[in-house]
């Protein structure tokens, strides 16, 4: 697995390199967005770790540029003062983000999820998900929470399907709104909140402590699913 690191902070670069090489990832590091674009084309990495504050180009512009010709997984590394840019980066097509400082365990977990997602995806949608407390059969549109059949409204169902098809990946309010309600509704964050609360009531064992529909505070939602191993 090849990981391209685009980061101008040398200390952070070194930390990432040592960590990822230690876990048998092949690592290439560059300091600028320009070099990042060249390397992306050259080595076709499985994952890009992208610092948002780069010397030569906004990380946001990097994401839009790379998305014109590549579907490579992009995980954004943002500092606290780049919170808004982080959301824009996701809207522009980044797959996930981590806010600095983050732990090595967290980063490795995100990389594993991203790789699993990009390998299982290949354009096909999720058909069936099965875990201890939740089973979803998308081909029959049937959902069971703790063996009880659950009835969802069409909108709730579409949101769940959208999140499941992007399993593990954070979706911004804007992405959910645009996909479910359309471009004219991208300001209506409360639509998403209301429906998400209803969905949690129906599919979470404990809706106040959700384990499937996770909130990314100020950003959006992520669907987490640990399937039963066959």
Interacting residue ranges for Ca ion, rule: CB under 5 A: 8, 51, 53
* Residue 75, SS3 per DSSP: strand
Q: Is residue 162 within 8 Å of residue 138, measured between CB atoms?
A: no
The Cα-based distances of 212 to 6, 23, 52, 64, 225 in angstroms read 31, 28, 29, 30, 6
Residue (8 or 61) nearer to Ca ion, CB? 8
Q: Is the peptide bond before 73 cis (omega within 30 degrees of 0)?
A: no
Dist. CA 40–CA 144, nearest whole Å = 43
The token pair that represents 190 in the structure block: 């409360």
CB of 197 to Ca ion, least distance (A): 37
- Nearest-CB residue for Ca ion: 53
Nearer to Ca ion, 77 or 129 (CB): 77
Nearer residue to Ca ion within complex by CB, 8 or 216: 8
For residues 8 and 49, the answer to whether their CB atoms sit within 8 Å is: no
Distance of closest approach, residue 60 Cβ to Ca ion, in angstroms: 14
Q: Give the shortest CB-112-to-Ca ion separation in angstroms.
A: 25
Give me the least distance between CB of 61 and Ca ion, in Å please. 15
User: Of 55 and 227, which has the nearer Cβ to Ca ion?
Assistant: 55
């Amino acid at each position: 697995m090849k990981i391209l690191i685009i980061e101008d902070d040398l200390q952070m670069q070194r930390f990432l390199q040592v960590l990822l090489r230690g876990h048998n990832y092949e690592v290439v590091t560059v300091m600028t967005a320009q070099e990042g674009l060249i390397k992306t084309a050259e080595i076709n990495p499985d994952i890009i770790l992208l610092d948002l504050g780069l010397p030569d180009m906004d990380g946001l512009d990097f994401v839009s540029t790379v998305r014109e010709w590549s579907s490579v997984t992009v995980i954004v590394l943002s500092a606290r003062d780049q919170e808004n840019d982080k959301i824009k980066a996701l809207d522009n097509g980044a797959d996930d983000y981590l806010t600095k400082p983050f732990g090595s365990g967290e980063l490795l977990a995100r990389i594993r999820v991203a790789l699993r997602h990009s390998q299982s995806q290949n354009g096909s949608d999720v058909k069936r998900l099965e875990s201890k407390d939740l089973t979803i059969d998308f081909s029959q549109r049937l959902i069971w929470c703790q063996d009880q059949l659950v009835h969802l409204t069409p909108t709730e169902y579409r949101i769940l399907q959208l999140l499941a098809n992007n399993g593990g990946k954070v979706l911004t309010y804007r992405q959910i709104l645009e996909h479910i309600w359309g471009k004219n509704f991208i300001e209506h964050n409360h639509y998403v909140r209301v429906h998400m609360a209803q969905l949690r009531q129906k599919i979470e064992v404990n809706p106040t402590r959700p384990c499937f529909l996770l909130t990314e505070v100020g950003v959006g939602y992520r669907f987490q699913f640990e399937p039963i191993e066959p």
